[in-house]
Homo-oligomer: A and B are copies of this chain.
Amino acid sequence: MTSFTNATSMRRISDSAVRRLSAYLRLLRELSRAGRRVVSSVDLAEGSGATSAQVRKDLSHFGSFGTRGRGYPVQELRDRLEGILGLGRRWRVAVVGVGKIGAALLGYRDLERNGFDVVAAFDADPDKVGTEKFGVRVRSMEDLEAVVRDSGVEIAILAVPPSAAGDVAARLAEAGIGGILSFAGTGLELDGRVAVRAMDVTLELEGLTYALSGAGAADRGAAET
């Protein structure tokens, strides 16, 4: 049933573990800029909100990078994590839906800084089509498939209204997109060929209101890092 892949312990790693790897990487880049040579699992844990055991376990899935008694070499670990996360190159991103959120992302310099090039933007509103936002021309939704294919867009940031999200996602999948980051607040039904992550401000705010009222409020008061 399951076929074991080869050497370097290729176990399925959880979403939360991947998120932690990103957090370690962010910290490592900072340390690297600051000239730090070596870092311990305790330091990595503190700077990223994990525990030191978690850091060591997470890293051990991909090999053994550290030196006992000393710690992890900052530069090397950073490079390895970039490799693991697929950040050894730049990625071509399209923003689909140029409303409040889509527009904000077009102007968000952090994407570029982290290896993501926004190469196209789309909107259904004819008044927006043809205009330029932060140096990216807004195109018609009709051109979606063609542009995705021709420009080799690998990741789409989906910021259209919920009612349109399903259709647009299906079209992106059909056009061969690799991954979708959805702000649409709707579960997308796509086959497993497309990687999907969702972000939802309202959902997270509701997590806070839960914590602040009734059931949730009861537990809080102990919690630590």
Q: A residues bordering B, Cβ < 8 Å? A: 5, 10, 12-13, 15, 18-19, 21-23, 25-26, 47-49, 62, 83-87, 91, 93, 100-101, 103-105, 107-108, 110-111, 114-116, 154-155, 178-181, 185, 187, 189, 191-193, 195, 197, 199, 201-216, 218-225
- Known A103-B104, A187-B23, A222-B192; judge A84-B206 contact (CB<8 A): no
The one of B93, B100, B185, B205 in contact with A107, judged by C-beta atoms closer than 8 angstroms, is: B100
Q: Could you tell me the distance between the alpha carbons of A204 and B202 in the complex, rounded to whole angstroms?
A: 17
Q: Does A214 contact B26, Cβ atoms closer than 8 Å?
A: no
A14 to chain B, nearest CB (A): 11
Q: Copy number of this protein in the oligomer?
A: 2
Most interface-central of A62, A86, A107, A185 (chain B CB within 10 A)? A86
Most interface-central of A5, A19, A191 (chain B CB within 10 A)? A19
- Known A18-B210, A203-B19, A207-B15; judge A185-B26 contact (CB<8 A): yes
Q: Could you tell me the distance between the alpha carbons of A33 and B10 in the complex, rounded to whole angstroms?
A: 47
Which residues does chain B contribute within 8 Å of A211, judged by CB atoms? 179, 195
